[in-house]
Amino acid sequence: MDELYVGLVLVPTLIGALAAVACALLGNFLILRKQSLMGDAVSHVVLPGIVVAFIVSGSMSVGPMLIGAAAAALISALLIELVRNLGKVEPGAAMGVVFTSLFALGVVLLEQSETRNIHFDVQHALYGNLESLVWLAGTQAGALFDPEALADLPPQLGRLVFSLLAVCLFLLFFWRQLVVSTFDPVFAQALGVPVRFIGAALISLVAIVAVTAFEAVGAIITIAMLICPAAAARLMTNRLIPQLAWSVLFALVSAVAGFWAAGSGMALLGSGFSVSAAGMIAAVSGIILAICAIAAPQRMGARS
């Protein structure tokens, strides 16, 4: 195998794919619960979380940033619920109010604090920098079996593996609770299913995945992967498990094709071109959804 290929292409592609799959799996349930835009809201409030974490901890290290972002995501979910229930505001508007306010707060804090002097900007937060997550040690022969070289792997890879694992375990252990409380929450409550806990756990996982994915690939992929693959999969089948399988497939195709199109594909047009891989992955997932909306077998659902 071409070693350069492993380090410079395969590792970032793998990171993108892991993020995409973790998001897509959860996205299926967000869509069925008509909560797709929670992903959008949660991804937006990661910014204020990171800025506050920086102000509090005074460092740009990853630990506080992840904690801050996760805390912000959970706080936003809580605030949305509060505004919805106590203020009797419809869910969409409640989300809109909360995430724009928190995002604005994040931008103002960013501008007012020392953060802006350090290398950190909103654009990076939005579309990440997948291309830079390379494994330089992986370009040497035999690196796959060299512990020292392995330690040089981008740390985002490990964190995304962890996130994906958490998602899989959650789905495995809480599958029945999740399905019954998604399909028929009233019945689920009568059965004694902890409906609110399951809902909160789902949103917490979305937050964890959004934060780890965000750090690696930016907010835009996170939103796209939470929604587009699952939406496209929804149009392919009428069964839940096949739908999850389709969404994983679409997520993988988006990640691989998007990364390829951003890198090698654009190089065909001219060597001067370099475009955002994250943006390209999001765009590809949109194209997949468009194709499914035109031609997928179950696109009409019960409306047909």
Partner 1 sequence: MIDVPAFVNALTFNAGYNTAIVAMGAILLGWAGGTVGTFLLLRQRSLVSDALSHATLPGVGLAFLVMAWFGGTGRFLPGLLLGAAISAMTGLACVEWLTRRTRLNADAAIGAVLSAFFGFGVVLLTVIQSLGIGQQAGIGSFLLGSTSGMLRNEAVTLAVLALIVALLVFYFRRPLTLVCFDEIFARTSGIDIRRADLLLMFLVMAVTVTGLRVVGLILVVALLIIPPVAARFWTDKTTTMIFASGLIGAVSGFAGTALSASVPNLPAGPVIVLVAALLFVISLLFAPARGIFYGLYRARAFSRKVHRRQGLLAILRGEAIYDSDTIKVLKADHYIRADGTPTRTGLAAADNAAREEALWTVYLHDNPDAAYRAARMRLDPIAERLTSDEIAELEKHFAGPPSVSGKAGTGFAIR
Partner 2 sequence: MKISPTDSDAALAVRGLSVAYGDKPALSSVDAVFKQGRMSAIVGPNGAGKSTMLKAAMGIIPTISGEALFFAKPLAAMRDRIAYVPQRASVDWDFPATVIDVVLMGLYRRLRPLSLIGRSQRQMAIECLEEVDMAGLASRQIGQLSGGQQQRVFIARALAQKADLLLLDEPFAGVDAATEKTIITLLKKFVKDGGTAVAVHHDLSTVAAYFDDVLILNVRRIAGGTVAAAFTEANLAEAYGGRLARDTPMTEAHAEPLVDTAT
Q: How far is the CB of 164 from partner 2 (least distance, A)?
A: 19
Q: How far is the CB of 228 from partner 2 (least distance, A)?
A: 17
Among residues 278, 275, 231, the alpha carbon closest in space to that of 250 is found at: 231
**Residue 272 three-state SS:** coil
Site string for partner 1, 227-256 (x = CB under 8 A): xx-xx--xx---------------------
CB atoms within 10 A of CB 271: 8
Residue 184 binds which entry of partner 1, partner 2, none, CB below 5-8 Å type-dependent: partner 2
Tell me, what DSSP letter sits at residue 241?
H
Q: How far is the CB of 87 from partner 2 (least distance, A)?
A: 9
Handedness of CA 72, 73, 79, 83 (dihedral sign): positive
Distance CA 263, CA 280 (A): 10
Residue 123 binds which entry of partner 1, partner 2, none, CB below 5-8 Å type-dependent: partner 1
Residue 192 binds which entry of partner 2, partner 1, none, CB below 5-8 Å type-dependent: partner 2
Site string for partner 1, 111-140 (x = CB under 8 A): xx---x-----xx--xx-------------
Q: Which of residues 269-288 bind partner 1 (CB under 8 A)?
A: 272-276, 278-283, 285-287
Question: Measured between alpha carbons, how far is residue 229 from residues 29, 30, 236 in Å?
Answer: 12, 12, 11
What are the structure tokens assigned to 166, written together? 């958490």
Q: Which of residues 203-222 bind partner 1 (CB under 8 A)?
A: 220-221
The correct pick among 62, 150, 291, 293 for binding partner 1 (CB under 8 A) is: 293
When the beta carbons of 143 and 278 are compared against partner 1, the nearer one is 278
Distance CA 92, CA 175 (A): 27
Burial 143-158 (b: 16+ CB within 10 A, else e): beeeeebeeebbebbe
Name, in order, each residue with C-beta under 8 angstroms of 72's C-beta and a sequence gap of 6 or more: 45, 46, 48, 49, 50, 52, 102
Q: Contact positions toward partner 2, by CB under 8 A? A: 32, 88-90, 172-176, 179-180, 182-184, 186-187, 189-193, 234, 237-240, 243, 301-303
CB atoms within 10 A of CB 293: 12
What are the structure tokens assigned to 130, written together? 């997948």
Q: How far is the CB of 66 from partner 2 (least distance, A)?
A: 28
The residue ranges that bind partner 1 (CB under 8 A) are: 31, 34-37, 39-40, 44, 83, 86-90, 92-97, 100-101, 103-105, 107-108, 111-112, 116, 122-123, 126-127, 220-221, 223-224, 226-228, 230-231, 234-235, 262, 272-276, 278-283, 285-287, 289-290, 293, 298-303
